Amino acid sequence: MQNLAQEFATGKLKIVDVRTPMEFMGGHVAGSVNIPLNELPNRLDEFKSMENILLCCASGGRSMQATAYLRNNGINCSNGGSWLQVNYELNS
């Protein structure tokens, strides 16, 4: 996953955590941004200005929902699954 780490380090990858703010405060990928799943409809313009979006959450369920929703709205993104897995891949 060296490419993932390089893309993130150079700002070419945006990691968005779709968990609640409370969950995010309990631990997250350093440098990721928190946009909770329920806020996606009101924040589509933010996503439209991003490139190379990788979504994550606690287990991958909410990030899967977010990925489907954003793709249905014409936004290119990927489901990274659990934030812990994304964090591991970035740091291994």
Tell me the average pLDDT across 73-84.
Answer: 96
Per residue in 47-64, pLDDT (tens digit) is 999 989 999 999 999 999
Q: What is the pLDDT of residue 6?
A: 82
Q: What is the pLDDT of residue 2?
A: 52
Global pTM?
Answer: 0.93
Q: Which domains does the chain have, with CATH numbers?
A: 35-82 (3.40.250.10)
Spatial CA neighbour of 4 closest among 92, 91, 90: 90
How many Cβ atoms from other residues are within 10 Å of residue 6's Cβ? 12
The dihedral through the CA atoms of 12, 33, 85, 56 has a sign that is negative
> How far is 44 from 74, CA to CA, in rounded Å?
10
Spatial CA neighbour of 54 closest among 24, 85, 25: 85
Give yes or no for residue 1 having a pLDDT over 50. Answer: no
> How far is 89 from 29, CA to CA, in rounded Å?
11
Per residue in 2-51, pLDDT (tens digit) is 577 888 888 889 999 999 999 999 999 999 999 999 999 999 999 999 98
Tell me the average pLDDT across 68-90.
Answer: 96
